[in-house]
Chain A
Amino acid sequence: MAAELHVELVAADRSVWSGEATLVVARTTSGDIGVMPGHQPLLGVLESGPVTIRTSDGGTVVAAVHGGFVSFADNKLSLLAEIAELSDEIDVQRVERELERAKAEGDASAERRADVRLRAVSAR
């Protein structure tokens, strides 16, 4: 059996995803980081962006994460985010509409949020 690590993806108000994985790729403030089983204990600040989780059954889970933290110890990885959505939950058309509106209104943070969601969908 390949080595596995346990992943918990939690948002402020709910637990978004949890399961076993072989590789987790996330973007911290100092660059992309890939965590595999047996990584050294790590605590990092996440950038808004897609997080890719390769599950142990060969599948891929992509989530849009808006700020937060990644912490890894004892083969357990926690991804904490104020807002986190799985790419399957994202409604592309709605996000595109949001992006249009944000651009029109010059709302930078809304534009960034929509952009992160779209990137998560396209990374799927």
Chain B
Amino acid sequence: MGAQLRVYKRRIRSVTATKKITKAMEMIAASRVVKAQRKVAASAPYATELTRAVTAVGTGSNTKHPLTTEAESATRSAVLLLTSDRGLAGAFNSNAIKAAELLTARLEAEGKEVDTYIVGRRGLAHYNFRERKVVESWSGFTDEPTYADAKKVAAPLIEAIETATEDGGVDELHIVYTEFVSMMTQNAVDGRLLPLRLEEVAEEAPKGEILPLYEFEPSAEDVLDALLPRYVESRIYNALLQSAASKHAATRRAMKSATDNAGDLITTLSRLANAARQAEITQEISEIVGGSAALADATAGSDK
């Protein structure tokens, strides 16, 4: 076998092995998307009920709370960026990071100081490489986040917002995550989580529903005190779940195109290998024909 042919054969073997791996990764990601979507759906009842309750307190009483009152001039903001722990997900992480950087630039243009909080090793690596300051980061649960993880993330953020700005607290909290629209579409979005705009929360509640006048137990303030941190946690939980579903969908898509490309590469390489083999055969034939002709000429010459 010629050297050229051997090289092609080796490359075909290696690409075939890669294709098998990417195909397997695609199928794993596909099954994980379904699981993650199911978790998003399972968390919906809690989120809906919580939204209803927050709306009820917000509209049914004139209570003021640090989490709902806007600072007159906000000077410090926190940005929570949700990325994944692993790559191989196409532009998933870079899109989220880009959205966070745009938001940071916008906030800084408004004259605010920005504290960055990051979930996921990828985002953290990006910030560390550029030597940007990260206040706090979490990783290790981005594939399958649990409610306890969301609580862990939410705790320091709620604490920061309740601290006065002069003591290192923040006035607002923004969150950047990847919204799961469908298997094919995931968008990096940013939104302000706190201070809460109660009007917006009210819009999320089902339309045309008149909320009754509630009796609060023990009091409207205490209910709001207990309710708002839970609301923030549930929003962060929802964002974590959507981010996980999006990551798996992005991985699936990236791995599908990798598998397709490997298939194309195998086709091309097989054609080249065939041509090389054919060229080798042709060369051998012409060598044999040429050789025997030369021999015939030589014997014909010696006869004379």
Contacts and interface: CB of A to CB of B under 8 A. Distances in A.
Contact of A33 (B46, B217, B234): B217
B223 A44 contact: yes
Interface residues of B, number: 31
A36 B218 CA distance: 19
Contacts of A12: 43, 46, 147, 150, 233-234, 237
Given A12-B43, A45-B226, 15 more contacts: A10-B45, A12-B233, A41-B212, A42-B216, A43-B53, A44-B218, A44-B223, A45-B222, A69-B223, A69-B230, A71-B53, A71-B214, A73-B214, A78-B53, A80-B46
A89 interface: no
A43 B217 contact: yes
A78 B53 CA distance: 10
Interface string A32-48: 01000000111111000
Interface string A1-45: 000000010111111000000000000111001000000111111
Interface of A: 8, 10-15, 28-30, 33, 40-45, 68-71, 73-74, 78, 80, 82-83
Contacts of B237: 12-13
A80 B50 CA distance: 8
A73 B211 contact: yes
Contacts of A42: 214-217
B215 A8 contact: no
Contacts of A78: 49, 52-53
A45 B46 contact: no
A64 to B, nearest CB: 16
